[in-house]
Structure 1
Amino acid sequence: MRLLSLLLIASLAIPVYALVTAPLSLFWQTFTAIGMVITANLLIRLKDYRWALAMMGLSTIASTRYLYWRLTQTLPIGPEFNAWDLFLSLGLVGAEIYAYVILILGFVQTIWPLHRKPAPLPDDPSQWPTVDIYIPTYNEPLAVVRPTVLAALAMDWPRDKFRVYVLDDGRRDEFRQFCETVGVTHVTRTDNKHAKAGNINAALKKTGGEYIAIFDCDHIPVRSFLQMTMGSMLQDKTVSLVQTPHHFFSPDPFEKNLATFRKVPNEGELFYGLIQDGNDFWDASFFCGSCAVLRREALEQIGGIATETVTEDAHTSLRMHTRGWKSAYINIPQAAGLATESLSAHVGQRIRWARGMAQIFRVNNPMVMPGLKFGQRICYSNAMLHFFYGLPRLIFLTSPLAYLLLGAEIIKAQGWMVLAYAAPHVMLATTTNSRLQGPFRHSFWAEIYETVLATFILVPTLLAVINPKLGKFNVTAKGGIVDRDYFDKDIARPYYLLFSLNLIGFTVGIIRLLIGGPHADTLMLNIGWTVYNLIIAGGALAVANEKRQVRSAVRVRTKLQAAIRSHADSGAYMTETLDVSYSGVALRLPEAVDLKQGDSLQILLMPERNDVWLDAKVMRAGRGLVAAKLNEMSIPQESALVQALFGRADAWIQWREHQKPDRPLRALFEVGRYGIRGGRDFFAWVVKAIWQRGTRTAPTKAA
């Protein structure tokens, strides 16, 4: 098979090389570009995944041809050499090479998603192993941690074969008292050395389970978690890690501020929905710090959780892989947590991730680290290189300004020729990624995600490469509120600078076009590029316009069977929920039930599996609906609510089915709409700021 593969590659190499390097006139390059685009749009309609592989190949050829042409025919070198033009040109080419490398590595990484199924457990539960469940916490409020602990206690696993540990680095009495009340172990240490990694390593010395399940304190597991993951561990004794997705039942800042929650896949869905499945094919699934189970033997062999970087999770799995241990990924949500509430908190979290991956790249570079397989090197390298997108993204957002504002020829070619080469490269990459990533990342959204973070991760990643010891671990705040609408001008400074510069460039370009400047095709190409950059920068501005979120308990839209009664001794009526939170429930009101505001109400969620009634007070009723606020709950009542809302085995499986499929043109218009909204909000904020400043200074002038 290897010989046949080599012969196949050799037979394709010559025609592919000829296609990549062939010099063509504008007419024939345009003809070739149109043919490639048409072919890709025909292939995307074919369902068999093997056609997706063909699209990857076609996209790779188009992108390689474009890059070859850029490097050999468009650099501003020659008799009229200009050092400034060459400097700017090399910056753009460097950004394009980076994007090309990430594109190709991404194709290799996700070439064949594994879609692993859970492995069966032994029929006799007495043969199931012992598991320690760790819930690390530092400064999170008890209200965030309580449901995770109660859900962990209710897992479908022999009660004598698992123990729950709250690893409290805050050393708080209220946590100790809660743990004693519900029957879990409260673990502390005398210091906070190495943050979360040190917390887990300290607990490893105090516990003895064969396996370790780890949940961030806001990641609430479903009751089937251990049954879905442990089979893979028992089936293959060399598997050191089984990871499941990080799923979020609350909107992140993008979803909240743009109102896209459960309409557009969130930022992390691509990694957990596709990339980790692709990693699994290469035996390179990463540990993500939570919602995972690890083999104690493997952890002890590498000296515990890695402590040298702030992304201790990926670093830990990298070290296990170098020792020959395997990993597995079950792409079925088995826990759900809280997303970051504000854009500033989200940016802070991503800065830590970017810095940590850059640290690993510097300390244990997977391309040269011994013990890794080829696929593992590719997967880890792509994950780390991804976080270096800060500078390339900023270059793409400002490159057309070099021509429009400075007159620099950073691409020494006719405008129509640039379009003929660049169009198939961009369009085939977009179409192919839509085919591969569509259910998990809609087209053009990556540009907004990266633009929001680009300026913030640029310096931390650079410093981490220079000195990996710089920086410290920061805990991402969860469970807070946003008490008002406001424009986060501090976070938005880079965005409105980029927006303003591109707006100036667009204006200058239009003026130059109207007065009949030379090279109209090049001018129009750069104006079009600037319009796109305005849309992306405007989208970033729209995300910075924070929306009010005053509910500390997130309402989850879910239909559950329920029963209600107005008194403990009265008859019960069957109904269903519309949404449920930790503080209230909205239900359909049966016609036979007459309720009004202020009435007492008792609610039984999932009556076929539960007999614990929740006490509540009616907040409003009518038109077939009733909204009730839950009274203070006992531990059994709280546990019943957690199991009904978060602990069901199928609690999160259906969420992906509600999202629309990706359509690149529709996604472009959608992103454009948010870009326009962001620009409008920016101008409104500027006018308001000028007005307020004028109002403050007016009395002084009058005096």
Structure 2
Amino acid sequence: MSLFTTYYPLFMLCILSVLYVMYRIQPIASTVKKIIIVLCVITNAAYICWRLFFTLPHEGTFNIVMGILLVACECIGFLQLLVFYTLVWKPSNRKQVMISDLERLPTVDIFIATYNEPIEVLKRTVAGCLNLSYPKESVQIYLCDDGKREAVEQLASEFGVHYLTRTDNQFAKAGNLNHAMSQTNGELILTLDADMVPLPAFLEKTVPYFHDGATAFVQVPQAFYNEDPFQYNMFSKDRIPNEQDFFMQTLQAGKDRFNAVMYVGSNTVFRRTALDEIGGFATGVITEDMATGMLLQGKFKSVSVGEVLAVGLAPESWLDLLKQRDRWSRGNIQCARKFNPLKVRGLTLMQRVLYLDGIVYWFNGLFKMIYILTPILFLLFGIQSFWADFQSIFMFWLPAFFSSYLAFKLVSNQKRSMFWSHIYESSMAFHLAGVALSELFLKKRVEFLVTPKGIQTDKRHFHLKTMIPHLIFLLLSLLVLVKIGYEVKVKGTMNADLMLINIFWVLYNGAGLFMALIVAFDRPRYRKSERFVIEKEGHLRSDHQDQSIACFLLDMSDSGARLSIPLDQASSLNQGQMQLFFLEDESVACDVVWSHSEGDQLMVGVAFTDTQKSEYLSLIRFLFTREHVAITDREKKSYAVRTFLRFLRETEKVPKALQRKWLRRPLQGVTGTFSYESQLEEKVPMIIHDISLSGCKIESEASIELHEKVLITIDTESLTDQPAVAVWTSRKRGRTMVGLKFVQPKIKQIEEREGVVS
């Protein structure tokens, strides 16, 4: 043993030096990557052996219990490390198949599963499906509505797609899809969530893989065109990728090598006959995807296509993200109970290992809790989960940690760092730990809940209830540091061997907990539709003008756009409805809703109005391309300190593009009238509180619904039958307060009134 302890540190130092030099000289070479992975496994295996045979406590009940729990977590972590590096050992070498390789094109049924999603969200997805570059006669689109909504049926009729519903909602989404299967007969089935907009090439890039009769399904990554709560609440859109991207693109590619690609519930093309052979989509669990994919892989092959071919909406609030992961966690544990990977027929050993690893992942919250609790228990109460001196810890832990850091940094290709993984895990650990234990032991029945999409709010909200455990452990961590400081200064005592490593551990955990607090501060989401950065030339044309106005498109959504025009052409904007040409021969009707000058340019905001079906399809086809759906896929200067400082600097600011373009002018005692569009002859009295070029705030005994259009008349402001739309409403003491935004404002008249132009 003495010989080992003498030479092992030198051996480890040599390994670390080689690792570092190899990484710095040739960081992306395949051979170098594999050597680093091997060395990472060796150092971690040495660490685990040392922990198991030399560090477990033998005295004290609490010491023994915590020692066993901690080393068990570390052993599970080591097994997960082996699985992870098996997946990323080498890239998938799947050969791309072209659609021209097919003798004939199979028919495709597209199932858009919906329950309560906003119509605006569904409309984009339907339009995306209609824009697919696949023979129209070979595609049938079905809106599968478990919400039984008249508006969804009207949407289907408007766009010429099929509408399906059923008498009950048994088995939630899986039951909905199975019902759709019973009503259709296409050879292939594409399943889409209500918010997932397919890009035009989706079927062209996926259908060819069914040339092999053994292929059951083809999975495309879920990608998102909005910011998830980590990106949005931390002001890190351009700094970090979406939290799901690493799994969807890196790990799924590794699973593809072992025919273990996970069906993720959307963006998936199935062979109907393969689904028929397993009895359709799996039921009896709140997430049907994992079980369905696993059952198919026991008999058929699966394919992962790494290219982003559809984009949707990530959860838009911290609470919605937790609810989504709650459902995924419970669903995976339910699948393990009903469809045990060890018992499913036809699976290979590696498939069983990968599915078990996926199930164990949902207990990581529990493991993280133990890692957070361990150093606090030692420093506060002296509960010692392992026996070791500082030299031994340095000798075994540091090589394992440093090699893990290098290996992960290399294989993740800047898509994920160890510290951001730490933040993700810390932020959800306590919630997911409770969910996993509840589902494992209580088996509480939980309904399938759809993740809300299309949220719009101007309020900031801190989800205190979800952060109570984080605050408690942060306070305990602070108490630990105060206690140590007191003992060193007053008593002059400190066990340096164990104190230093536990202090580092507490600080590391505390950093993750502190960053978790930031993500729980939900920022306002002012827009209902996400804007895409466009930055291209276009032009405006009025029905009353022969000559068009050259403009530059800055950003755009399916409901409006922001653009700039030369200031000397500003007077042309008071001609009512206009056409915005975003391509040479593609345009959409719009109204100017605000404008303000910046230098020699007039910045203009337009809202799309009375959009026809053909215009909307062109708009979606223009917006939803790889060029405009820019997705951050690498971490860029995403340091924790910079993220925190950016949060402090930006948190109270309204985005520049959303700030009011004119100051509100308060009005005292000014009255006016409004009329509903359906009752123009009836004039309803109102009190005006303030006004600007873009809108006003009113009070009335009558009610106005959100997004309802009215005509307002204010004699003292020279406004007669000015169209306006309600952008917010509130009811107090029997009276209604309404924020109105002017539609087709008479710009020159209002500017003169406000003193904007001389």
Q: Which has the higher strand share?
A: 2
Given the alignment of the two structures, is residue 63 of structure 1 paired with residue 38 of structure 2, yes or no?
no
2:210 is aligned to 233
1:382-393 matched pairs, under 5 angstroms: 382-393=357-368
Identify which of 278, 284, 290 aligns with 2:266.
Answer: 290
Do the aligned partners of 1:110 and 1:279 also contact (CA within 8 Å) in 2? no
2:160 is aligned to 183
Deviation, 1:265, is 1.5
Q: 1: distance between equivalents of 2:645 and 2:556?
A: 35
Deviation, 1:639, is 1.7
- Range 94-103 or range 591-600, more displaced: 591-600
1:319 is aligned to 295
Q: Deviations over 1:595-625 (max 9, x none)?
A: 6876654212233xx5333323152253344
Aligned AA for 2:367?
A: P
Q: 2: distance between equivalents of 1:157 and 1:613?
A: 25
1:570-609 matched pairs, under 5 angstroms: 570-572=546-548, 576-589=552-565, 593-594=569-570, 600=576, 601-607=578-584
Q: 2: distance between equivalents of 1:351 and 1:22?
A: 50
Q: TM-score, normalising length from structure 2?
A: 0.80
Q: 1: distance between equivalents of 2:90 and 2:515?
A: 33
- Aligned pair in 2 of structure 1 residues 651, 163: CA closer, same or farther (>3 Å)? farther
Deviation, 1:630, is 2.2
Deviation, 1:109, is 2.2
1:140-151 matched pairs, under 5 angstroms: 140-151=117-128
- Range 61-70 or range 258-267, more displaced: 258-267
| Number of residues of Structure 1 aligned to a counterpart in Structure 2 | 644
- Which consecutive residues of structure 1, in runs of 5 or more, have no partner in the other structure? 1-20, 683-703
1:73 is aligned to 54
Identify which of 379, 392, 396 aligns with 2:354.
Answer: 379
1:438 is aligned to 413
Identify which of 65, 75, 83 aligns with 1:105.
Answer: 83
Higher Cα Rg, which structure: 2
Deviation, 1:538, is 0.1
- Which consecutive residues of structure 2, in runs of 5 or more, have no partner in the other structure? 652-758
Q: Deviations over 1:286-317 (max 9, x none)?
A: 11111111110111110011112222111101
2:700 is aligned to none
Do the aligned partners of 1:168 and 1:186 also contact (CA within 8 Å) in 2? yes
- Aligned pair in 2 of structure 1 residues 233, 251: CA closer, same or farther (>3 Å)? same
Given the alignment of the two structures, is residue 251 of structure 1 paired with residue 232 of structure 2, yes or no?
no
Q: 2: distance between equivalents of 1:506 and 1:566?
A: 69
1:633 is aligned to 611
1:50 is aligned to 31
1:345-494 matched pairs, under 5 angstroms: 345-466=320-441, 470-494=445-469
Q: TM-score, normalising length from structure 1?
A: 0.86
Q: 1: distance between equivalents of 2:185 and 2:493?
A: 77
Q: Secondary structure at the match of 1:558?
A: strand
- Aligned pair in 2 of structure 1 residues 384, 123: CA closer, same or farther (>3 Å)? closer
Q: 2: distance between equivalents of 1:480 and 1:430?
A: 38
- Between the aligned residues of both structures, percent identity stands at 28
- Range 342-351 or range 380-389, more displaced: 380-389
Q: 2: distance between equivalents of 1:340 and 1:517?
A: 50
Aligned AA for 2:161?
A: V
Identify which of 114, 134, 137 aligns with 2:111.
Answer: 134
- Aligned pair in 2 of structure 1 residues 593, 565: CA closer, same or farther (>3 Å)? farther
Identify which of 68, 77, 81 aligns with 1:90.
Answer: 68
Deviation, 1:467, is 6.5
Q: 2: distance between equivalents of 1:254 and 1:48?
A: 32
Aligned AA for 1:148?
A: T
Aligned AA for 2:523?
A: K
Do the aligned partners of 1:264 and 1:442 also contact (CA within 8 Å) in 2? no
Q: 1: distance between equivalents of 2:437 and 2:226?
A: 32
Deviation, 1:103, is 1.1
Do the aligned partners of 2:101 and 2:208 also contact (CA within 8 Å) in 1? no
Deviation, 1:676, is 8.3
Q: Secondary structure at the match of 1:127?
A: coil
Do the aligned partners of 1:363 and 1:468 also contact (CA within 8 Å) in 2? no
Q: 1: distance between equivalents of 2:425 and 2:514?
A: 13
- Range 314-323 or range 30-39, more displaced: 30-39
- Aligned pair in 2 of structure 1 residues 131, 579: CA closer, same or farther (>3 Å)? same
Deviation, 1:640, is 1.7
2:169 is aligned to 192
- Aligned pair in 2 of structure 1 residues 443, 520: CA closer, same or farther (>3 Å)? same
Q: 1: distance between equivalents of 2:11 and 2:500?
A: 22
- Cα RMSD between the aligned structures? 2.6
Do the aligned partners of 1:219 and 1:291 also contact (CA within 8 Å) in 2? yes
Do the aligned partners of 1:451 and 1:536 also contact (CA within 8 Å) in 2? yes
- Range 482-491 or range 527-536, more displaced: 482-491
Q: 1: distance between equivalents of 2:583 and 2:36?
A: 47
Greater relative CO (CA pairs within 8 A, separation 6+): 1
Q: Deviations over 1:527-551 (max 9, x none)?
A: 1111111111101111111211121
- Aligned pair in 2 of structure 1 residues 376, 139: CA closer, same or farther (>3 Å)? same
- Aligned pair in 2 of structure 1 residues 522, 675: CA closer, same or farther (>3 Å)? farther
- Range 514-523 or range 450-459, more displaced: 514-523
Deviation, 1:568, is 6.3
Do the aligned partners of 1:218 and 1:338 also contact (CA within 8 Å) in 2? yes
2:640 is aligned to 671
